[in-house]
Structure 1
Amino acid sequence: MREVDQDATGSLDFEHFLKLMGLFRGFKDKERSRKEQQATKEAGFTNQEVAEFRELFLNSLGADSQDLGFEEFRAMIHGITPLGDALTTELEEIFAEVCKKQTEADFPDFLLLLRKLLDCNFASIKDKTSGPQRR
C-alpha cells in the first residue's frame, strides 16, 4: 500500500486503485511465469514440446476461460484413447492430485498432467501418441 500511496494520504482513490491493480497484475504475471518455468523443468519437456502443448491447451479452452476444466481435459484424452467409466475415474483422480483438488488446470498443471499420463502410460497413451509423426 505504501508503494501505491506515495503521497501518504491514506486514502484509496481511483488513481491509487489503478496503481494497486497494476502491481497486483505484475505480481500475478511473475508468479504465473515462475510456476510455468518450474513445471516445464519438472516435466522435462523440450521447448518445442512445450510450445506444441501450449497450442493444444489453448485450443481446448472454453470460450471465456484461461484454465482447462476436467471435462475438457477428459474429452481431449478420450480423443487420443477411449475412456470408459473406470479410466475416467482414474483420470479424474490424477487430475485432482496434480491440480491439488482445484476444478481447473492452468497451463503448468496441464504440463504436469501430461507428464504423469505419459510416465504411467495411462490407457496406453504413449503407444497411441508415438509413431512416424512423433518422436
Structure 2
Amino acid sequence: MDQLRRQFISYDWDSSGDVSKKELVQLIVDVFPDMAHDPEKRPLLLQIMKDADADNNGRLDFSEFLQLMRTVEDLGDLTQLQKERQVIDQTQFTSNEVSEFRSIFLEVTKGEARMSLQDFKEMMSPICPMGDRNSHAISAMWFEICDSTSKMFDFPDFLLMMRRLLDINFANMNQRLHRGPQHRKAW
C-alpha cells in the first residue's frame, strides 16, 4: 500500500490530493503504454478510466487510483493467462508436461514470475554442455522469444523455448533426458 501511495503522489504534481488533467495524461501513458497510443484500443482505455473515476469529476483521488491500479493488475493477469493458453495450444505439451515444466520454472526462479538467461543456462547445463557454441545458440534463441524490453522469460516464453529445444534435439538433449532420472532431477 505504501508503494501505491508513493506512486499516486508521484502523479499528483500539484499536491492537490488527486490526479487530474496533465497529471492524468502522464499516468495513462505510464500505466497503459500500448493503449495510450493505439486508436483501436482507445474505447477500452476510455471505459477503464470512466470505471475508475467513480464520481465522474475527471480526476482520480487515491481510492479511485487504487481501483485503476487493480484494473491494471487484473488486465495483466488476464493477458498473461491468455498468452499461456495460446502457448500451451501452440506447443502441444500435455497438461502433465506443463505442470512439470511449471514446477521446474518455479524452482529455478524461486517462485518469481520471470527467469533470466543466466538462470536458464545454469538449469540446462547438466543436460547440455554449456560451451561457447551451445551458450551462444541458447542466447540467440532466447532473444528471438523473449520480450525485448525485459529480456526475461515468463512461463509461456519458457514453454516456447523448451518446445524449440526439444524439437531440434538441442545438443542431443532428448537422448540425455532418456538415459536416466538423474538428468531430470538436475533441473
Q: TM-score, normalised by structure 1?
A: 0.91
- Residue 73 of structure 1 is matched in structure 2 by 120
Q: Which runs of 5+ in 1 are unaligned?
A: none
Measure the CA separation in 1 of the matches of 2:90 and 2:180: 27
TM-score (norm 2): 0.67
1:68-107 pair list within 5 angstroms = 68-101=115-148, 102-107=150-155
Alpha-carbon distance, 1:6 to partner: 2.7
The structure where helix makes up a greater share of residues is 2
Q: Which runs of 5+ in 2 are unaligned?
A: 1-48
**What is the distance in 1 between the residues matched to 2:99 and 2:139?**
25
- Rounded Cα–Cα distance in structure 2 between residues aligned with 1:84 and 1:95: 16
CA distance in 2, matches of 1:126, 1:100: 27
Which whole-Å CA distance do the structure 2 matches of 1:98 and 1:5 have between them? 38
Give 1:83 deviation, angstroms. Answer: 1.5
Q: Does 1:28 align with 2:79?
A: no
- Higher Rg: 2
1:50 aligned onto 2:98: yes
Highest relative contact order (Cα 8 Å, sep 6+), 1 or 2? 1
Structure 2: distance between partners of 1:35 and 1:130:
30
How many residues of Structure 1 are paired with residues of Structure 2 in the alignment?
133
Question: Partners of 1:132 and 1:94 in 2: how far apart?
Answer: 27
Amino acid at match of 1:87: N
Check whether the contact 2:50–2:56 (CA below 8 A) recurs between aligned residues.
yes
AA aligned to 1:49 is: E
- Summarize deviations over 1:25-78 as a string: whole Å, max 9, x none: 110110000000011111110001000000000000157x42000000001111
Tell me which residue corresponds to 1:15.
63
C-alpha separation in 2, matches of 1:19 and 1:47: 35
When residues 80 and 21 of structure 1 are mapped into structure 2, their CA distance, relative to the original with a 3 A threshold, is: same
CA contact under 8 A between 2:147 and 2:153: conserved in structure 1? no
- Rounded Cα–Cα distance in structure 1 between residues aligned with 2:175 and 2:146: 25
- What code does the residue aligned with 1:52 have? E
Match of 2:162 among 100, 114, 123: 114
**Kindly, what percent of the aligned residue pairs are identical?**
35
